[in-house]
């Protein structure tokens, strides 16, 4: 397993809202930029604007806002795969301010293998699965009887 991939981006004036901190919509854009860069590092042959051999579609996203991001702050976004399924995988994000290392946001997104010609989901190619496992993803099918850890009932304590 390798270290989490990380990319640094600076909060621009246009990223701010009326309260003078980064608008919630921009967090998703920062995560998207990190995701595209990460996928490009893992699969250099994958062209997000021309998915000939295989493609992904962003199916789900969750963001937890931890502290405001301010104008001209440098934000480091780390990304790593967590859960791998037959046709999808989950990426975990963590965003921190470079200056004081405070948590700014964290979350996750689910990408689905997608055939753009046929307009439907498809299983992830085996080499994609293998690379994600190398990066530290957990094979959900290996964790339990085909379900994922998140499918388990909550623990009662």
Q: Which residues, 6 or more positions from 16, have their beta carbon under 8 angstroms from its beta carbon?
A: 22, 23, 71
Q: Which residues, 6 or more positions from 151, have their beta carbon under 8 angstroms from its beta carbon?
A: 144
Per-residue pLDDT of the chain (157 residues; tens, 9 = 90+): 567 899 999 999 999 999 999 999 999 999 999 999 999 999 888 777 776 667 889 999 999 999 999 999 999 999 999 999 999 999 999 999 999 999 999 999 999 999 888 888 999 999 999 999 999 999 987 765 444 444 433 333 3
Distance, in Å, from the CA atom of 76 to the CA atom of 97, rounded to the nearest integer, reads: 6
Distance, in Å, from the CA atom of 108 to the CA atom of 57, rounded to the nearest integer, reads: 14
Q: Which CATH architecture has domain 5-138?
A: Roll (3.10)
Tell me whether strands 88-97 and 55-65 are parallel, antiparallel or unpaired: unpaired
């Amino acid at each position: 397993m390798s270290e989490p991939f990380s990319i640094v981006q600076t909060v621009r004036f246009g990223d701010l809202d009326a309260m003078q901190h980064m608008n919630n919509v921009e967090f998703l854009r920062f995560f998207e930029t990190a995701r595209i860069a990460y996928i490009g590092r893992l699969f250099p042959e994958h062209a997000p604007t021309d998915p000939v051999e295989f493609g992904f579609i962003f199916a789900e996203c969750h963001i937890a806002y931890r502290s405001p991001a301010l104008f001209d702050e440098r934000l480091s976004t780390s990304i790593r795969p967590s859960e791998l399924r037959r046709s999808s995988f989950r990426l975990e994000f963590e965003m921190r301010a470079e200056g004081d290392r405070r948590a700014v946001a964290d979350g996750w997104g689910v990408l689905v293998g997608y055939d753009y010609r046929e307009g439907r989901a498809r299983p992830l190619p085996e080499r994609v699965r293998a690379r994600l496992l190398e990066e530290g993803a957990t094979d959900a099918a290996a964790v339990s009887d085909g379900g994922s850890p998140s499918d388990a009932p909550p623990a009662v304590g």
